[in-house]
């Protein structure tokens, strides 16, 4: 299919109908973000050029005057934002480098990093998800710099997401990085696809959790939740 001479891979009408029937359901088939095998054959610069061209066409179809001083740079700004900022977590090259340290302090209790603010985007409508992540772990002999926990959250948030997948991705990454089963993640977020469109409910929030190892024990889980009050 082409729009004013620009090739497009828009889905067939049948696919659109199925997607509309699904609506806002948070359907996810795997913990991995769905990616094509050729996702990184193009450079970031090539991707930005393509996004810029397609977004210019979208603006044109909306009837906007792209010769206006306020609008003419928008396609480039959006393309740059997509690649370098809000979807930068799609590129494994941007994954934070994790350095572990010996637990010299012999701190064997729960460590909690709470109120990690993040901004993500709903993969169903490409509108923001704004929330806070609360993360805890119990060291198995290694510890991680506190800022690295924040960076892991931000890395997985900076991609089209559903909250359930985001929660699991953060939890599994921390387990692998820390070499411990004892990890907990709780995310509390507002979805603009709910508040700014559709049902337009501005007061609701979504909470998801990931518990593994000792955190599946009720007393340990309750201790974690107590710290979040």
Annotated catalytic residues are 122-125, 163, 191, 193
**Residue 170 buriedness (CB in 10 A; 0-12 / 13-18 / 19+):** buried
Cα(54)–Cα(142) distance, integer angstroms: 47
106: helix, strand or coil:
coil
Cα(150)–Cα(146) distance, integer angstroms: 7
> In this structure, what are the phi and psi dihedrals at residue 126, rounded to the nearest 5 degrees?
55, 45
Q: Which of 184, 203, 190 is nearest to 118 (CA)?
A: 190
In this structure, are strands 6-7 and 100-102 parallel, antiparallel, or unpaired?
Answer: unpaired
H helix or E strand, kind and range, residue 92: none
In sequence order, the β-bridge partners of residue 184 are: 136, 211
Cα(219)–Cα(75) distance, integer angstroms: 52
């Amino acid at each position: 299919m082409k729009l004013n001479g620009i090739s497009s891979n828009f889905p067939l009408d049948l696919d659109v109908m199925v997607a509309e029937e699904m609506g806002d359901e948070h359907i996810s088939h795997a913990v991995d973000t769905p990616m094509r095998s050729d996702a990184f054959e193009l450079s970031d610069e090539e991707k930005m050029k393509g996004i810029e061209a397609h977004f210019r066409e979208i603006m044109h179809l909306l009837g906007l005057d792209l010769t206006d001083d306020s609008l003419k740079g928008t396609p480039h700004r959006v393309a740059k934002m997509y690649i370098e900022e809000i979807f930068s977590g799609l590129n494994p090259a941007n994954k934070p480098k994790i350095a572990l340290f010996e637990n010299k302090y012999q701190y064997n209790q729960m460590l909690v990093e709470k109120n990690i603010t993040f901004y993500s985007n709903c993969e169903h409508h490409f509108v923001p998800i704004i929330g806070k992540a609360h993360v805890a772990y119990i060291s198995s002999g290694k510890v991680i710099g506190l800022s690295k926990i924040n960076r892991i959250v931000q890395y997985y948030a900076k991609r089209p997401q559903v909250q359930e997948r985001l929660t699991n991705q953060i939890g599994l990454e921390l387990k692998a990085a820390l070499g411990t089963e004892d990890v907990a993640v709780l995310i509390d977020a507002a979805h603009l696809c709910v508040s700014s469109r559709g049902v337009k409910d501005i007061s609701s929030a979504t909470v998801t959790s990931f518990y593994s190892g000792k955190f599946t024990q009720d007393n340990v889980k309750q201790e974690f939740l107590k710290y979040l009050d």
